[in-house]
Structure 1
Amino acid sequence: MSEFWPVPDVLAYLAGRWRVSRSVRDLASGAEGEFTGVTEFTDVTEFGPLPEDGTGCSAQVTGGLLHHESGTFVWQGVARPAERTLRFLPGPLGTAHVRFADGRPFHDLDLTSGRHVTGHPCAADIYRGEFTVRDADHWRTVWRVRGPAKDLVLTTGYARER
């Protein structure tokens, strides 16, 4: 039996509301933080035009999910409200293309095996993400961020709210 739960359609799997718990560790300084909150993946019928993506094209994209995360981030004892928004666009064969809120490409996402490793260059930093699905109601991400100014590990657990 596989330790990962295959997901034939990532957008169908993610749709809905999830509880989120994220630990953030700065490996250089030893500082630690924590985010707790919720993530909602809601249907979007029309994203509108996206900015040019490096291929010389911009496109009108329909369908997908809007990912909105909100909660509280505690860093070195100081609690602050935090939120972010991403777009999950339909990809081939049940996969997705993840974009930032402004439409810039972030990473691909293929959970057909229940596990996916991806990357994202951000200025001089490199983000490497690993996504794993445990079952119908639990999945996790681990992002390792390395660069001249960053040496972080962000581990996030998601549990579906029913």
Structure 2
Amino acid sequence: MVEFRPVPDVLAYLAGSWEVARVVRDLADGTEGTFRGTTAFTPLDGGGLLHREAGGFTWRGVTRPAERTLRFLPGAETGTADVRFADGRPFHDLDLRSGRHVTDHPCSADLYRGEFTVADADRWRTVWRVGGPAKDLLLVTDYTRRAPKGA
């Protein structure tokens, strides 16, 4: 039986810097790529966290720079988050109070189904299954907390 670590306050848990390792698998043809980089969750004015991810994405043997920015805002319930794209559009909810959360994000005709799990104080994972007429993907991302500078 897999056990998950409950997180009473997702924003407090995520704050800081994380190493990121992602595997992207195209289930239609078996092609696989990887992303390696970092994610920093820094305070936003007015509450919440700014999520900035940057690194290199390797696909079909070619590595290119890749980055994304999200906003993790306080959710409707204490300890949860409302995740938004950088431009403010809704992405998904996030509630790790049980240590595990499943959520959906419709994108055109495709559906993104995400599962978030917390292993311990310094490790968590996301698994996104993307299905629809345009995509058939599996994205597995492992996050490991980076030691504070000077530690």
Give the TM-score taking structure 1 as reference length.
0.89
The answer to whether the aligner puts 1:103 opposite 2:88 as a matched pair is yes
**Secondary structure class of the residue paired with 2:42:** strand
What residue number does 2:118 align with?
Answer: 133
Runs of 4+ in 1 over 6 A off after TM superposition: none
- The one of 42, 58, 61 aligned to 1:77: 61
What one-letter code is carried by the residue in structure 1 that aligns with 2:17? R
Alignment of 1:1-150 (within 5 A): 3-45=3-45, 62-91=46-75, 92-150=77-135
How high is the sequence identity, in percent, across the aligned residues? 74
**Secondary structure class of the residue paired with 2:29:** coil
Tell me the CA shift for residue 2 of structure 1: 6.5
Give the TM-score taking structure 2 as reference length.
0.95
Q: Which runs of 5+ in 1 are unaligned?
A: 46-61
Alpha-carbon RMSD across the aligned residues, in angstroms, is: 1.0
Post-superposition Cα deviations, 1:17-49, rounded to whole Å, max 9, x if no partner, equal 00000000000011100000000000011xxxx
2:88 and 2:132 map into 1 onto residues whose CA distance is 24
1:2 and 1:104 map into 2 onto residues whose CA distance is 34
2:134 and 2:97 map into 1 onto residues whose CA distance is 34
Tell me the CA shift for residue 93 of structure 1: 1.2
**Secondary structure class of the residue paired with 2:13:** helix
Q: Which runs of 5+ in 2 are unaligned?
A: none
